[in-house]
Structure 1
């Protein structure tokens, strides 16, 4: 039961405005493709591996993924306006290569030739591409079913919120024992942070990696290894342990596909994070995020959005309504892509200056507003970072208050706060103390969500309604502009960061689709979504 009673007319108005504001983004995504979307199609069809680049003495100096080689070759020879599927499977039908891998090797040798087929040849290419991609989606579907079987067999954590802990040493073989130790200490969700800068790579590294900086590279093999390790510890503990990574940056669609193929359970996937905080081109991001979210919907993956990041650059009180607006827009775009309420880990954070009077009451108001607006979503509640000073005793206290706010307001996913935030990368002992903090609060006060109901007209109730009213006013301004959300991002509405649609990294990878364009993955995912 929600502790706040929001005006249903105002809530309906907010959602109506969010749909209007988001429509230009949906139209943009439907009319374009990107190099990463097309590479994701090839990954679903089973193309893996890398093309080794050798130096003067025959030593391997680099490795380029085959999906990059093929998409780049198609683009160079015929363009990507029709997508990659028609030219690739037309080339296969011509008999020059036995399979997709052999065709990729011809590309590496410089002997592959592509053209966009028409008539009966185009129909044959469509059929072959659809069959190949359907096999990949069948594997995604099987992983979705397997997750449900394991949850039914092992069981879910006995309480909410789920405890979410970050592990990332840079070395996947060091991450695994740390992740298993964290699960034994009470973590329900293990998040493996990506290596610094991976979001700006326009390719996905290959294989098990041991050299990440401040994080571990997101690769298919790293996903497979960590998934197997968490399955082992889950069987030991008698509960399913979830795995999270990041589907953001320039390879959002591809990483979403790899997550589906390796049974990840949650993915960081925000409509605007890469635009605002990595200066990735808005058009590139909006096209990529729609495809990636369709994959997540099909795979049964919970997305985590990044509204908490706005409050690291903007004031958490003055700009609270922008978080609510972003949550409503993320909800709209996610549902358009086929995600359901239970998959919407919408983000918000405990980032109000603790020296501000009534800061905890304000935090409760903001958290309750999110809970009331999205009653069926597993909201992701983020700990304090901006105002952590290096005083670990003060930090531990703030994390305790954060945990209490999560318990009182019924959050779904609670990221473990570290008292050493902004000081050092946490040691295992730091994580252990942080988990003890969470466990104590949830064991001692977890049931208070049933009792905590701020009085109508009181401080918390008034503050929540103020933020909602300000959010509706902002949505009205955004929806009234012909470019909607695209213009709002350019104007610096979120995180006080301006990002115009014709600037930023990755714009050269965006292509407007031609009338004859064909993407078998989109066709199959949209068809399945229509049946649901």
Structure 2
């Protein structure tokens, strides 16, 4: 029974529209690949490193094939053929291409059955490494036990990975369960992944595989000391979405920001490019056991959180269906929303509570990601602490799972260690003293909150019906999410979208999808 009076028929109607929207969009996705998808195949085949000029070798290989009009059948085919023809490993093939000594398209094509077997063998080898990472996580969670109730999620972002490690360990010791190493400003717009450990960044730290490795090792060390498993989060949105997902899978990250709509709306990334990228990235995350976080909370920092609440639910439902198509189970869908209504709104807390309870009931198995107040934080640290306390109350009352802690110094400066400690203390106090409050309350059948949920759900159904009729691409052009309009053939990265040709192969789709069951 629904506590908040959900009309289940409306929920299923909305979900049906979302399913149709995702399937129609997937028809385009299935017919295309991108330079990022093919670079990801290179990385999963073991290609790594950069040239003397600092250009990543996966970029070298993919640009080599793209210039020759050869990406339509996929990088995997050319790499496997080259390995068979030259006797080199995949890294050696990439280095020969980088030196200009090897043209992948001019090599004789060997037996196609042998080429396919080579591709499949390479994919199985990488899949086993990722499977071992997943098993290692499961073993540590079995040893330490997993946390009941909300995960306390904090951000570390000094720009220097070595300083981040110090701060991340401190946050873990203070009680944080998830450490997000927020990505440096603008990295989502780079069409390559930087290499190695980095010590400079603005508003965050570069997402690189070496940085992932260093932070994972540091959090494992802290977790062993504390007797807890500390989850590591990073960002695989942007132009390198599937590449960063692959790096995260190889280095045992646990949570990834992974949402194409976020990149389209807030980074002006071409919608065709990023929806194709999203599919492969989510296929990887699903196989690796990584929880994805979606970016609906960002709508509410742009549009009005009260008036546009239905767009959040619509996006959550669409994201759910895209995730299913990529093989992600509900238990890995950190669908996003936020406590972002204007504090001057009368009964605003009731509306926030209603929205959160609605999300919890519509997505009962999802580890929902609930974001703190930011838009209306003024620099008044005392009022800010109260706003964050109300946010914490909604989380525990409605069973949110991934709880990004609000900072009392939001809108003033990057948090100090002491700011994080105060935020953790605030949340722990409220989560303990109100632990079972949600089980003790009922919602008035004809009250404000039940009526609010019914209104939001009704508007969501109407919006999804329009999107289903117009198509997702057209919807994004007309600005129905966050009031932001994006042209289908505009934005960054469109030139990296390639139509698949007959015979296209990406062995990782088959390997990562084996045995999965979609609803």
Task: Tell me the TM-score normalized by structure 2.
Answer: 0.97
1:310-325 equivalences in 2 (<5 Å):
310-325=299-314
Deviation at 1:76, TM superposition (A): 1.4
Structure 1 residue 2: deviation in Å? 5.2
Q: 1:101 aligned to 69, 84, 91, which one?
A: 91
Give, in whole Å, the separation in 2 of the partners of 1:313 and 1:236: 41
Kindly report the root-mean-square deviation, in angstroms, between the aligned alpha carbons of the 2 structures.
Answer: 1.6
Extract unaligned runs of 5+ from structure 2.
none
- Bigger Cα displacement from structure 2, 100-109 vs 381-390: 100-109
Deviations 1:468-511 (A, max 9, x none): 11100111111122xx1111111111111111210000001110
Please give the secondary structure, in 1, of the residue aligned with 2:33. strand
2:416 matched to 1:416? Answer: no
1:72 equivalent to 2:59? Answer no
| 1:531 to partner: Cα distance | 10
Partners of 2:33 and 2:500 within 8 A in 1: yes
Q: Out of 129, 142, 146, which is 2:136 matched to?
A: 146
> 2:72 aligns to what SS in structure 1?
coil
Q: Conserved in 2, the CA contact under 8 Å of 1:90 and 1:116? A: no
Residue among 442, 447, 462 paired with 2:436: 447
Q: CA-to-partner distance for each residue in 1:247-280, whole Å, 9 max, x for gaps?
A: 1100000100011101111100113000000000
Structure 1 gaps, min length 5: 54-62
* Offset of residue 117 of structure 1: 8.6
**Preserved contact between residue 5 and residue 372 of structure 1 (Cα < 8 Å):** no
CA distance in 1, matches of 2:441, 2:135: 37
Matched, 1:83 2:74: yes
Query: How many correspondences in the alignment?
Result: 519
Deviations 1:43-98 (A, max 9, x none): 11111111112xxxxxxxxx011111111111112421111111222122222x52
Q: Partner of 2:514 in structure 1?
A: 527
Is 1:85–1:125's contact at 8 Å kept on the other side of the alignment?
no
Q: Residue 117 and residue 24 in structure 1: after superposition, are their counterparts in 2 closer, same or farther (change >3 A)?
A: farther
Cα shift readout 1:337-360 (whole Å, capped 9, x = no counterpart): 101111011000000000111111
CA distance in 2, matches of 1:75, 1:181: 46
Is 1:359 the equivalent of 2:348? Answer: yes
**Is the 1:78–1:115 contact (alpha carbons within 8 Å) kept by the matching residues of 2?**
no
SS in 1 for 2:487: coil
Alpha-carbon shift at residue 118 of structure 1 (Å)? 9.6
8 Å CA contact 2:443–2:449 kept in 1: the answer is yes
Deviation at residue 115 of structure 1 after TM alignment: 2.4
**Distance verdict in 2 for CA 1:162–1:2, change over 3 Å:** farther
- The one of 157, 161, 166 equivalent to 1:172 is 161
- How far apart, in 2, do the equivalents of 1:117 and 1:51 lie? 23
> Equivalent of 2:380, from 380, 391, 394?
391
Q: CA deviation at 1:116?
A: 8.3
Q: Secondary structure of the equivalent of 1:166? A: strand
Deviations 1:392-432 (A, max 9, x none): 11111101111011111111111000111111111111111
Assess if the C-alpha contact under 8 Å between 1:417 and 1:434 holds in 2: yes
Distance in 2, Cα, partners of 1:435 & 1:530: 38
Asked whether the equivalents of residues 81 and 110 of structure 2 are also in contact (C-alpha less than 8 Å), the reply is no
Q: Which whole-Å CA distance do the structure 1 matches of 2:46 and 2:189 have between them?
A: 24
Inter-CA distance 121–78: structure 2 relative to 1 (3 Å threshold): farther
Partner SS for 2:305 = coil
